[in-house]
Amino acid sequence: MGFRICEAMKYFVFVILFFAISTVVLFSCAKWKDPEPKDLGLTNPYCNDPAAVNYNWGFPGRADNSVCFYPNSLFVGTYMYYDSVYRDTLFIGADSTIITLSPRDPDPTHSKLNLAGICGLTIWLTALPGYQATVDTLVGDTTTMTQGQLYCGAHDTLNGIVSRSRLDSPTLLRMNFIVVTDSVLTTHNGTARKL
Protein backbone atom coordinates (compact mmCIF):
# COMPACT_ATOMS: atom_id res chain seq x y z
CA MET A 1 0.00 0.00 0.00
CA GLY A 2 2.90 2.31 0.76
CA PHE A 3 4.18 1.62 -2.74
CA ARG A 4 0.87 2.74 -4.27
CA ILE A 5 0.85 5.97 -2.23
CA CYS A 6 4.39 6.68 -3.33
CA GLU A 7 3.39 6.07 -6.99
CA ALA A 8 0.29 8.21 -6.54
CA MET A 9 2.43 11.04 -5.04
CA LYS A 10 4.86 10.84 -7.94
CA TYR A 11 1.97 11.00 -10.39
CA PHE A 12 0.41 13.95 -8.48
CA VAL A 13 3.75 15.86 -8.39
CA PHE A 14 4.23 15.14 -12.10
CA VAL A 15 0.75 16.50 -12.93
CA ILE A 16 1.32 19.63 -10.81
CA LEU A 17 4.73 20.28 -12.38
CA PHE A 18 3.38 19.65 -15.86
CA PHE A 19 0.49 22.07 -15.22
CA ALA A 20 2.83 24.73 -13.78
CA ILE A 21 5.31 24.47 -16.68
CA SER A 22 2.47 24.50 -19.24
CA THR A 23 1.01 27.62 -17.64
CA VAL A 24 4.40 29.42 -17.67
CA VAL A 25 5.01 28.49 -21.32
CA LEU A 26 1.49 29.53 -22.30
CA PHE A 27 1.80 32.97 -20.69
CA SER A 28 5.33 33.52 -21.97
CA CYS A 29 4.12 32.94 -25.53
CA ALA A 30 1.18 35.30 -25.22
CA LYS A 31 1.21 38.11 -27.82
CA TRP A 32 2.36 41.48 -26.51
CA LYS A 33 -0.22 44.21 -26.59
CA ASP A 34 0.91 47.82 -26.62
CA PRO A 35 -0.57 49.96 -23.91
CA GLU A 36 -2.98 52.66 -24.98
CA PRO A 37 -1.05 55.76 -26.14
CA LYS A 38 -0.98 58.66 -23.76
CA ASP A 39 -1.58 62.21 -24.92
CA LEU A 40 1.71 63.97 -24.24
CA GLY A 41 0.28 67.38 -25.08
CA LEU A 42 2.63 67.90 -28.05
CA THR A 43 0.80 70.35 -30.29
CA ASN A 44 3.53 72.19 -32.19
CA PRO A 45 3.25 71.46 -35.93
CA TYR A 46 6.26 70.08 -37.81
CA CYS A 47 6.93 69.20 -41.43
CA ASN A 48 6.90 65.47 -42.13
CA ASP A 49 7.88 65.55 -45.85
CA PRO A 50 11.49 64.38 -46.50
CA ALA A 51 11.66 66.51 -49.68
CA ALA A 52 11.18 69.73 -47.67
CA VAL A 53 13.96 71.97 -46.40
CA ASN A 54 12.44 72.01 -42.91
CA TYR A 55 11.82 68.25 -42.66
CA ASN A 56 11.30 67.29 -39.00
CA TRP A 57 12.03 70.80 -37.71
CA GLY A 58 10.10 71.10 -34.45
CA PHE A 59 9.76 67.33 -33.92
CA PRO A 60 8.25 65.92 -31.70
CA GLY A 61 4.86 67.38 -32.18
CA ARG A 62 1.98 67.06 -34.58
CA ALA A 63 2.77 66.26 -38.24
CA ASP A 64 1.43 69.08 -40.41
CA ASN A 65 2.79 69.36 -43.96
CA SER A 66 1.18 72.77 -44.44
CA VAL A 67 4.22 74.25 -42.62
CA CYS A 68 6.69 72.67 -45.09
CA PHE A 69 8.78 74.79 -47.43
CA TYR A 70 10.70 73.33 -50.33
CA PRO A 71 14.10 74.03 -51.92
CA ASN A 72 12.77 75.91 -54.94
CA SER A 73 10.58 78.21 -52.80
CA LEU A 74 13.77 79.65 -51.24
CA PHE A 75 14.65 81.30 -54.56
CA VAL A 76 11.37 82.16 -56.29
CA GLY A 77 10.93 85.84 -57.09
CA THR A 78 12.06 88.81 -59.18
CA TYR A 79 15.53 90.18 -58.45
CA MET A 80 17.91 92.92 -59.52
CA TYR A 81 21.08 91.05 -60.51
CA TYR A 82 24.43 92.85 -60.23
CA ASP A 83 27.11 90.96 -62.14
CA SER A 84 30.92 91.37 -62.00
CA VAL A 85 32.91 89.58 -64.71
CA TYR A 86 36.51 88.37 -64.26
CA ARG A 87 39.04 86.67 -66.53
CA ASP A 88 41.37 84.89 -64.12
CA THR A 89 41.67 87.60 -61.45
CA LEU A 90 41.38 90.56 -63.86
CA PHE A 91 38.13 92.51 -63.59
CA ILE A 92 36.77 93.01 -67.12
CA GLY A 93 33.26 94.38 -66.64
CA ALA A 94 30.05 94.82 -64.70
CA ASP A 95 26.39 94.76 -65.60
CA SER A 96 22.97 94.68 -63.98
CA THR A 97 19.66 93.28 -65.12
CA ILE A 98 16.33 92.14 -63.75
CA ILE A 99 16.01 88.35 -63.46
CA THR A 100 13.14 86.10 -62.48
CA LEU A 101 13.37 82.74 -60.71
CA SER A 102 10.23 80.65 -61.00
CA PRO A 103 9.31 77.03 -60.25
CA ARG A 104 9.41 74.65 -63.21
CA ASP A 105 6.18 72.70 -63.74
CA PRO A 106 5.45 69.87 -63.36
CA ASP A 107 7.85 69.27 -60.49
CA PRO A 108 6.83 66.72 -57.84
CA THR A 109 10.23 67.12 -56.13
CA HIS A 110 9.76 70.87 -55.54
CA SER A 111 13.39 71.41 -56.59
CA LYS A 112 13.34 72.58 -60.23
CA LEU A 113 13.68 76.27 -61.14
CA ASN A 114 13.79 78.44 -64.26
CA LEU A 115 16.06 81.50 -64.29
CA ALA A 116 14.99 84.04 -66.92
CA GLY A 117 16.49 87.41 -67.81
CA ILE A 118 20.12 86.66 -68.66
CA CYS A 119 20.93 86.74 -72.40
CA GLY A 120 17.25 86.24 -73.21
CA LEU A 121 17.60 82.59 -72.16
CA THR A 122 15.90 80.37 -69.63
CA ILE A 123 18.48 78.63 -67.47
CA TRP A 124 17.42 75.45 -65.68
CA LEU A 125 18.44 75.04 -62.05
CA THR A 126 18.00 72.34 -59.42
CA ALA A 127 17.53 73.61 -55.87
CA LEU A 128 18.92 71.64 -52.95
CA PRO A 129 17.79 71.63 -49.29
CA GLY A 130 21.13 73.25 -48.31
CA TYR A 131 20.05 76.67 -49.65
CA GLN A 132 21.84 76.21 -52.99
CA ALA A 133 20.72 75.78 -56.58
CA THR A 134 23.00 74.36 -59.27
CA VAL A 135 22.87 74.87 -63.01
CA ASP A 136 21.57 71.69 -64.66
CA THR A 137 23.92 69.97 -67.08
CA LEU A 138 22.25 69.83 -70.48
CA VAL A 139 25.40 69.73 -72.67
CA GLY A 140 28.66 67.93 -72.02
CA ASP A 141 29.41 65.34 -69.40
CA THR A 142 32.15 64.44 -66.93
CA THR A 143 34.56 63.62 -69.78
CA THR A 144 34.39 67.13 -71.29
CA MET A 145 35.73 70.39 -69.93
CA THR A 146 32.64 72.34 -70.90
CA GLN A 147 29.53 71.01 -69.25
CA GLY A 148 26.44 72.93 -68.23
CA GLN A 149 24.02 74.81 -70.47
CA LEU A 150 24.37 76.77 -73.66
CA TYR A 151 24.81 80.46 -72.96
CA CYS A 152 24.74 83.65 -75.06
CA GLY A 153 26.94 82.56 -77.98
CA ALA A 154 26.62 79.37 -79.98
CA HIS A 155 29.71 77.85 -78.34
CA ASP A 156 29.33 79.34 -74.84
CA THR A 157 28.68 77.04 -71.89
CA LEU A 158 27.41 78.18 -68.48
CA ASN A 159 27.86 76.33 -65.20
CA GLY A 160 27.63 77.41 -61.56
CA ILE A 161 25.55 77.87 -58.44
CA VAL A 162 23.08 80.24 -56.84
CA SER A 163 23.08 80.32 -53.05
CA ARG A 164 21.15 81.95 -50.27
CA SER A 165 22.58 82.43 -46.81
CA ARG A 166 20.63 81.09 -43.87
CA LEU A 167 21.79 84.02 -41.77
CA ASP A 168 21.75 86.97 -44.19
CA SER A 169 18.68 88.66 -45.49
CA PRO A 170 16.29 86.26 -47.26
CA THR A 171 16.14 88.82 -50.09
CA LEU A 172 19.81 88.42 -51.14
CA LEU A 173 21.20 85.71 -53.42
CA ARG A 174 24.81 85.09 -54.36
CA MET A 175 25.38 83.93 -57.91
CA ASN A 176 28.64 82.39 -59.12
CA PHE A 177 28.82 81.28 -62.74
CA ILE A 178 31.62 80.09 -65.00
CA VAL A 179 31.28 80.74 -68.73
CA VAL A 180 33.54 78.93 -71.19
CA THR A 181 33.81 80.51 -74.64
CA ASP A 182 36.19 78.90 -77.14
CA SER A 183 38.42 77.72 -74.26
CA VAL A 184 38.40 81.22 -72.66
CA LEU A 185 37.05 81.03 -69.13
CA THR A 186 35.28 83.95 -67.45
CA THR A 187 33.87 84.03 -63.95
CA HIS A 188 30.67 85.88 -63.10
CA ASN A 189 30.38 86.75 -59.39
CA GLY A 190 27.23 88.60 -58.58
CA THR A 191 24.48 89.30 -56.12
CA ALA A 192 20.76 89.49 -56.69
CA ARG A 193 18.47 91.50 -54.43
CA LYS A 194 14.74 90.74 -54.38
CA LEU A 195 12.49 93.48 -55.74
pTM over 0.75: no
Which of 33-37, 45-49, 58-62, 127-131 comes out lowest in average pLDDT?
A: 33-37
CATH class of 71-194: mainly beta
pLDDT digit string, tens, across residues 115-144: 999 888 899 999 998 899 999 987 766 666
φ and ψ at residue 15, rounded to 5 degrees: -65, -45
pLDDT score, position 145: 63
pLDDT digit string, tens, across residues 154-190: 778 889 999 998 877 778 999 999 998 877 889 999 9
Which whole-number Å values give the CA distances from 125 to 4, 53, 60, 71, 150, in the listed order?
A: 94, 17, 33, 11, 13
